[in-house]
Amino acid sequence: MFVRKAPANSYLFPFSFLRLMLRFGGNLITGFSFLEGQLTGLVANCGPLSAPDAQKGAHFMELCDARDVPIVFLQNSSNSAGGYLADI
């Protein structure tokens, strides 16, 4: 769990991340934080995405869009889906 949070922690104000939808779509982290003083939505994947992950991301993006909150995407591509050829 520490590895998933490490990249985002270097950009965020300390203790400002509010994680949403914890029990749904486990390979996608969504939440709000303050980035340079502005409320920002954060979306980060931590593995291959499934249908529940995609639905979670879509709901979160709709929530941010309805409130005019900018979104930052952090991607972790680990090639775990089948190596180099799966990325082509």
pLDDT digits (tens, 9 = 90+) for 39-48: 999 998 877 8
**pLDDT category of residue 59 using cuts at 50, 70 and 90:** very high
Q: Is residue 18 part of a domain?
A: no
Q: Is residue 56 part of a domain?
A: yes
Asked whether residue 16 carries a pLDDT value surpassing 70, the answer given is yes
Give me 62's structure tokens: 């709709």
Q: Is residue 21 part of a domain?
A: no
Q: Say how many CA atoms lie within 13 Å of 31 toward its Cβ.
A: 19
Q: Is residue 24 part of a domain?
A: no
Q: Is residue 16 part of a domain?
A: no
Q: Do residues 64 and 41 make contact, with C-beta atoms less than 8 angstroms apart?
A: yes
Q: What percentage of the chain has pLDDT greater than the value 90?
A: 23
Q: Is residue 84 part of a domain?
A: no
Asked whether residue 22 carries a pLDDT value surpassing 50, the answer given is yes
3-state secondary structure (DSSP) of residue 33: strand
Number of domains comprising the chain: 1
Higher pLDDT, 22 or 59: 59
Pairing of strands 18-20, 38-45: unpaired
φ, ψ of residue 10 in degrees (nearest 5):
-75, -15
Identify the domain containing residue 53 by its residue range.
Answer: 1-7+33-78
Q: Do residues 73 and 43 make contact, with C-beta atoms less than 8 angstroms apart?
A: yes
